[in-house]
Structure 1
Amino acid sequence: MRPKFLITMIFSLFIVGSVFAQSHKVKGEVRSDINEGIPFASIILSQVSDSSLVKATTTDGNGGFALNGIPDGEYFLSVTYVGFRRYNSRPVMVQGSDITMEPVIMESESVNLEAVTVVAEKPLIEVLADKTVFNVENAGGTAGLTGFELLRRSPGVIVDNNDNVILEGKSGVQMWIDGKPSVLTGDDLVQYLRSIQASDIESIEIITQPSSKYDAQGTGGIINIKLKRDKRYGTNGSASLGMGYWEFLKGNSSISLNNRTRKTNTYFTYSNRLGKTFNDMNFRQQIQDQVYFEDSDTEREFENHNLKAGLDIFVSPKSTLGFIVTGNYSNNNSHNISSTVIEADSEDATSALLRAQSIDDSQSDNAYFNANYQFEDTLGHKINIDIDAGIYNSDRVADQPNQYYNLDESELLSEFIYQMRTPLEINIYSAKLDYEQDLFGGKLGLGFKGSQVHTVNSFGFYEEIEGDLVFRADQSNDFDYTEEVIAGYVNYSYRKDKMSYQFGLRAENTHSEGELFSAQQVDDSLVVRDYLNWFPSGGITYQMNDKNSFGLNYSRRINRPNYESLNPFQYRLNELGFRQGNPFLQPNYTHNIRVSHTYNYRLTTSLTYTYVEDYFAQVTDTLPSGQTFGDLQPSFIQQRNVADEEVLSLSLSFPFDVNKWWSVYISATGYNTSYTSIDPKFNPLSQSTFNFFAQNSFKLPNDWKFEVSGWYNSRSIWGGTFVTEPLGSLDLALQRKFFDKKLSASFSITDVLYTNPWTAAGEFNNLPITGGGQWESRQLRLNLSYNFGNPELKGARKRKTATEEERSRIQ
């Protein structure tokens, strides 16, 4: 993206704004004396002549307000909010045209905290027009959980047996951290989410219908994990310590510090998590004349460290400059023991028993830097600029001894021992500009983005021969992948009377190159792609009355394969199975149409139709004829564009208060998923599924809080090829606060009934597979957290609903 072009566009936008920006209303904003917007402040417009009330409202989550339908006359404005002195403006004349008032700056006043106690708590679940927000910090049963475990407890979210995230029946969900797309994908992303503690998470935002302002990547929507940031004056902090146990012991701890002045805000967080867990699976598959029964038990030791530091500089009342540095280090060691019984189904087939192990030692570290500039004035102009750079490194070494016996294990038939070394490096660079302004009574948004991702993968295969590891160049290779995305969007929203309109168009040009370097001659070792896509989006909302609103939305999106899926390495799981990427995997495209109804700003019902072209399903296939291990036929797992997907879903969500001490949130989704294909190897599937989530919170005397939550998922399709049986979870939690609510103690048990183990069955290319598995889903957890600092320091800005600015997409 050329700098001259950017400067020209920004300059042109300001000219357009100065000529056309008109507000058909009296509007303004309310800010604190440290330049933070004050949400939910009371606004009263009165006549100067007799002080009679003309109109009243409250500020939005950013401190802005608007008063419509004001006749000509002379008025004054009054603003009130707890903790601030009352504000009365000078007389304001409205004559024929609408005005934008100067920012209202509220002055703090001293409050005797012994005399006045203000209790303001966000609801556990917020159902908004564009997203559902799970306020993790208000859920007592989340202490000691990881970010990945929280996803299983989030409304409408399912996690399958391969740790894929499914939202309202759709895969291709994009994971974001603090409003930024995660660079990590596949297993690397899962491990990172497992390293984040629930105590470090403020909320999880579930966005099912992103507008054109968001990157088009992600056919299943966006899940944004917002980490905590303290917004109070002075120096404050918190520390936590927790443990969990069922089969193995786990521990976690964290500390956060924050210092805020009128000109700067500095913050620092550190957390760690370590322990041990397990994962057991079993599979049965038949390949030609042989039946394979595999039992696999894995124990994994983990150690994770997360670090985040940031600085915000309040340059002026209109602009803020910010810097963030984040880092993560993980050390994971796993030991897998598998036993595969191979039974002959004919006289010509071989029967045997394979005893295999996989001893993995994996380390990863990453560091990311972000610089951000925000500008916002009272005329409706907003500018947001983000520049990001980061590096991710991982190194994995796996030793795999394989021993073949006869069925009664009285004779060792053969033995193969090998080692795999798979270092990986990812470099990321991106820049993003967003601009907004009022235009023709509505709001115009424009944006540009450029990003580059470069991955360097190596695969070294070593075979043990007479006690020595020998490098096998014929089975080793390197893979380099580079992806560049240039994007731009335009979005316009407008409201008139009871109707609201939003339309947008996004263009993304993608250039990618993947090259395989191998000692063997490989066809199509260089795969180059260059494609331009257009992604329209739009929505119409009709506010019938104060309690009923209807919405219609459409969007087209793309789901590009993750890096692991493109890597052509054959990573062995054991002697008879391996996982292989597909460098020829094409993106798939999704059309979403959603009709919704909201009653009383609480009960939301939506009907959604989704069509996915070139869905990439996870298939299990066999090698071509002749490529066998002796008399045995190995199988491999790979993603392929083999089907089209259709999903029709009906969702209902309803948060409500039974009384002052009992609050409930219910979310239910029923959907039908079908997969069709012209590939004769693919077995068409269709399945109706019901998903239910409920959370009950009870406020008990003496600062006790009790929670009962649970979810249930009926039979459903995983990965386009597997049908899983029903599963669910029931969780209990008890929480108590001490020492003037500075110390919080919580005790919880997850999956009380142990209904989280799974079973599934699938078929591809006449290869039937059945299987099941379990993990340490049931756990007892104890967690302590302590807040320290000056308790009389006032919160600078508490947003009940805040819209994250779009950041760069790195994929």
Structure 2
Amino acid sequence: MEKQKYSTGKSLVAGSLLHFTLLILFSIFEIPLAFSQQNKGKVSGKVISSDGQPLPFASIALLDQEGKTLKGTLSDTVGMFHFVTIIEGNYKVKITTMGFNTHHSKPFDISSRNNNNIHLGVFTLFEDAKVLNSVTINAKKKLIEQTIDRTVINVENSILSEGNTALELLEKTLGVKVDEDGKISLKGRSGVNVMINGKPTYLSPKELSTILKGTNSSSISKIEILNNPSAKYDAAGNAGIINIIMKKNTATGFNGAIALNSGYSRNAHYGSGLNLNYRNDKVNLYGGYNYAYRGETEYLDFVRRFYDTGIANGQPQRTSFQHTNTNEPLNTHNFRIGFDYELDKANSFGILINGNLGKYTHDSKTDNNLISNNNSTISKTITSNYDQQHWENLTYNANYLHQFKKEGRELSADVDFASNSFTSNLNLNTITLLSPDAPSGTIASRKGYVPAVTDVYIGKVDYTDQFGKTVKFESGLKSSFIQSDNNLKYHILDNGNWVYDVNGSNHFKYKEQIHAGYININKEFKGFSLQVGLRGEYTQTQGHQITSDSLLNRNYFQLFPSVFLNKPIGENHQFQAAYSRRIERPDYGDLNPFRVFRDPLLYYQGNPFLKPQLTNTFQLSHTFKGKYTTAINYNQTNDAITWITGQIDALNTTFETPKNLSKAINYGISFTASTELLNWWTGTYFANAFRNEYRGSQENEDFKNANTSFSFNTQNSFKAGKGYSMELSAFWYSGSVYGISTYKASYAVSTGIQKQIFNDKGSIKLMVNDVFQTNRYQEQTFFQNIDMNTDKRLDSRRAMLSFSYRFGNQNLSKKERKSASEDIQSRVKGGG
């Protein structure tokens, strides 16, 4: 068997990246000098609707005298637009946006004899009644859009969105990987902050994974990926932010939609949903409910080799061959109800309640054969693990938005309360079959009750202002209070009586409060724009180990600066540079030292002495024609939190626990392309080459585990005519490393077909996920006394047939307002 090697030395990839980085820096600061003598003017203006509201993301084209388009841009979130480095000449601008009449400005000229900084004033666009009457909710955005600061995947436009879970959708997202335990990484980096509707979940990775598994993909509108968030957003998430935005109808009048789906993998899958909405000029009432049942069966092979010398070398004295079959039925209920009310043009408020309730059952049978080095049987055991879990996740939000008379000035406030309850009832029974040491066989039984309650209280205020035509100012305050209570009780069957297990049981309470403030300033200069931000966060935590009566208090203050530079060169090129500092705090599940048993010889245990990890992130990127983006990134994490495998040879027992490694380094280069290959074929392609290096110590021995990895994602859409469309997606990940472990390559291909019916108000979709059943996780760990292999085969191949139908008024509303409870991130553009 090939052993994992831990090597040192300078990487060839690092040298190549350095040359490429220097080339981009040279391009940013040197190339424009050749044209600087011709760059004369700057043009700006603002776009509003007839009722005085700013029109964000309107298309602005700069035209020459003959009407030829020279440059293009979009208005920002307050309706402002800018053109810079305009040479002398006569021009006009054309403004277009969906649902409004096209507007042409009066001609203007830029000349050295006149003021070359021209503000065109305010343009008022009027609604196009014909367009509003003809445009329905069927108007689709592109499946994947690349904006200045994020990648947006419009999930509701995807055939593959039906019959999947939110976690499976993330797995198909560009640059995102979900491992066998539900942990999420982005561009090869772990520690992603997952948000729902712009709000952190404050759940442990396991609880978040369960919630995402229980969220039907049909209720999701889009997924946003921010690799380098600005200081406006929480500093949590050293790999960036993934924001999942749920559907919310913006059509006027009364309308709704129903959905049904059914399918099969190794077990049955089915679900249904209903969404209703009523909107008029002042009030928007909305609600929805989704139910899903997912039957899943997965297979796990686990081989462990034990050495009496304490060093994994040569012939093992004992080898454990373990095979597990697991049935995992999942029942979920999701609901959402809320209303927005517009007091007047300047003030609005809203209330929102989100709920996610479900039941998950882990029902597994494990065969474990322990073999000596001469192939004789030492022991045979059969373990049944029946764990029934229930959860309730309820979130309440009240929000307020005030828009001042001064354009660009806005104040918003949010108050949130989230109640999260997870309960686990575990029954673990192990039968040791006939062996030389136990001729009659033995039975060992353990049962556990694990109630976990987490309450979250959040208050935040954000303020935005515009100074002149080139300066945008953002600031805000936020406080969050979290308290969790885990009371794990184990009992062991002894002579027919259940006896409380003092050593295995544990009661752990955790409190955390974070107080934050930030300032962001965005300034446009001649030829480039710059955004600088600073966020300060004070953290106070308390972990109370009630069982052992130990208390661990921590408090610390951290500053998180961010800098973003954006420089366009001509019409087709845009360069960006970004730096940010981020933090990943250990969650209460990582800190809680209680043991969770998979079987008697495998358990997981938290670490109350974990420290937060801090990451410095650098990125350089270049976008060509708004379709092709190349990005170089470098990230260094100190005190990296990593799950490490340990082993007790004398007991033939393996465990996993989180530890702080001294350092984790990630750097790489990625390429994204959004193309229309033919008029009936559009595709988005993402390729990433990266290197991960983990450095630290395990049992007083230093180690370095490093590997250069590659990944590829693609999403393709095909128009087949007569209401038919098809979709094909695929991903491939090469071998990678995590901590002291190595993962083998994996890939999957998914496809689907859709037919529009009932005058495009309904659709029938057939989706096949992981067509070739190739999405599996193969892990190898070889370090010190640990020598083991894991092969996990998920229940990922699934065929689903779904039907959806929209009813009521489907015309788009002429005016859409986003309340503070919705996607806070989309209100103001972030940095690059």
Larger deviation, residues 241-250 vs 439-448: 439-448
In the alignment, structure 1 residue 147 sits paired with structure 2 residue 166: yes
Q: Which residue of 1 aligns with 2:642?
A: 617
What do residues 418-451 of structure 1 show as CA deviations (whole Å, max 9, x unaligned)?
1000001111101111112123631111111110
Q: 1:775 to 1:108 in 2, by over 3 A?
A: same
Contact residue 617 and residue 721 of structure 1 kept, 8 A: no
Contact residue 378 and residue 436 of structure 2 kept, 8 A: no
Alignment equivalent of 1:329, drawn from 323, 340, 357: 357
Q: Which residue of 1 aligns with 2:807?
A: 788
Report matched runs for 1:731-770 at 5 Å.
731-770=750-789
Q: Which residue of 2 aligns with 1:496?
A: 525
Secondary structure in structure 1 of the residue aligned to 2:825: coil
CA positional deviation for 1:745: 0.7
1: distance between equivalents of 2:435 and 2:279?
A: 69
Secondary structure in structure 1 of the residue aligned to 2:295: strand
Q: Which residue of 1 aligns with 2:37?
A: none
Q: Which residue of 2 aligns with 1:213?
A: 232
In the alignment, structure 1 residue 529 sits paired with structure 2 residue 554: yes
TM-score (norm 2): 0.85
Contact residue 192 and residue 242 of structure 2 kept, 8 A: yes
What do residues 70-115 of structure 1 show as CA deviations (whole Å, max 9, x unaligned)?
99xxx9999776645688999x9x999987967847356356968x
Q: Which residue of 2 aligns with 1:598?
A: 623
Alignment equivalent of 1:804, drawn from 818, 822, 825: 825
CA positional deviation for 1:539: 1.6
Q: 1:792 to 1:489 in 2, by over 3 A?
A: closer
TM-score (norm 1): 0.87
1: distance between equivalents of 2:546 and 2:453?
A: 16
Secondary structure in structure 2 of the residue aligned to 1:316: coil
Q: 1:375 to 1:766 in 2, by over 3 A?
A: same
2: distance between equivalents of 1:678 and 1:118?
A: 56
Contiguous gaps of at least 5 residues in structure 2: 1-41, 109-113, 309-317
In the alignment, structure 1 residue 564 sits paired with structure 2 residue 593: no
Alignment equivalent of 1:483, drawn from 490, 506, 512: 512
Alignment equivalent of 1:121, drawn from 129, 140, 148: 140
Contact residue 32 and residue 38 of structure 1 kept, 8 A: no
Alignment equivalent of 1:135, drawn from 123, 148, 154: 154
CA positional deviation for 1:352: 1.0
What residue identity is the alignment partner of 2:598? L
Q: 1:350 to 1:271 in 2, by over 3 A?
A: same
Contact residue 603 and residue 656 of structure 2 kept, 8 A: yes
1: distance between equivalents of 2:662 and 2:434?
A: 41
2: distance between equivalents of 1:611 and 1:68?
A: 37
What do residues 362-407 of structure 1 show as CA deviations (whole Å, max 9, x unaligned)?
1111211111112234432122211111111121100001122245
Alignment equivalent of 2:719, drawn from 699, 710, 722: 699
Contact residue 677 and residue 683 of structure 2 kept, 8 A: yes
In the alignment, structure 1 residue 298 sits paired with structure 2 residue 323: no
2: distance between equivalents of 1:240 and 1:231?
A: 19
CA positional deviation for 1:699: 0.6
Q: 1:408 to 1:760 in 2, by over 3 A?
A: farther
Contact residue 697 and residue 703 of structure 2 kept, 8 A: no
2: distance between equivalents of 1:101 and 1:87?
A: 13
What residue identity is the alignment partner of 1:579? Y
In the alignment, structure 1 residue 661 sits paired with structure 2 residue 680: yes
Secondary structure in structure 1 of the residue aligned to 2:129: coil
Larger deviation, residues 135-144 vs 314-323: 314-323
1: distance between equivalents of 2:69 and 2:572?
A: 24
2: distance between equivalents of 1:78 and 1:648?
A: 42
Q: Which residue of 2 aligns with 1:371?
A: 398
Q: 1:733 to 1:45 in 2, by over 3 A?
A: closer
2: distance between equivalents of 1:402 and 1:654?
A: 53
Q: Which residue of 2 aligns with 1:580?
A: 605
What residue identity is the alignment partner of 1:433? V
Contact residue 646 and residue 654 of structure 2 kept, 8 A: yes
What residue identity is the alignment partner of 1:714? S
What residue identity is the alignment partner of 1:311? F
Contiguous gaps of at least 5 residues in structure 1: 1-23
Q: Which residue of 1 aligns with 2:223?
A: 204
Q: 1:79 to 1:207 in 2, by over 3 A?
A: closer
Alignment equivalent of 1:403, drawn from 411, 422, 431: 431
2: distance between equivalents of 1:530 and 1:486?
A: 11
Contact residue 251 and residue 811 of structure 2 kept, 8 A: no
Q: Which residue of 1 aligns with 2:744?
A: 725
Over aligned residue pairs, what C-alpha RMSD do you find?
A: 3.4
CA positional deviation for 1:594: 0.8
What do residues 591-648 of structure 1 show as CA deviations (whole Å, max 9, x unaligned)?
111111111111000111111111122111135xxxx9xx633221101013411111
Alignment equivalent of 1:242, drawn from 261, 271, 280: 261
Q: 1:371 to 1:31 in 2, by over 3 A?
A: farther
What residue identity is the alignment partner of 1:457? N
Q: 1:259 to 1:224 in 2, by over 3 A?
A: same
2: distance between equivalents of 1:55 and 1:664?
A: 27
Alignment equivalent of 1:647, drawn from 657, 662, 666: 666
What residue identity is the alignment partner of 1:382? E
Q: 1:84 to 1:68 in 2, by over 3 A?
A: closer
Q: Which residue of 2 aligns with 1:638?
A: 657
What residue identity is the alignment partner of 1:329? L
Contact residue 231 and residue 562 of structure 2 kept, 8 A: yes
Q: Which residue of 1 aligns with 2:39?
A: none
What residue identity is the alignment partner of 1:516? Q
What residue identity is the alignment partner of 2:393? N
What do residues 24-50 of structure 1 show as CA deviations (whole Å, max 9, x unaligned)?
976434236596846426799999xxx
CA positional deviation for 1:345: 4.3
What residue identity is the alignment partner of 2:426? A
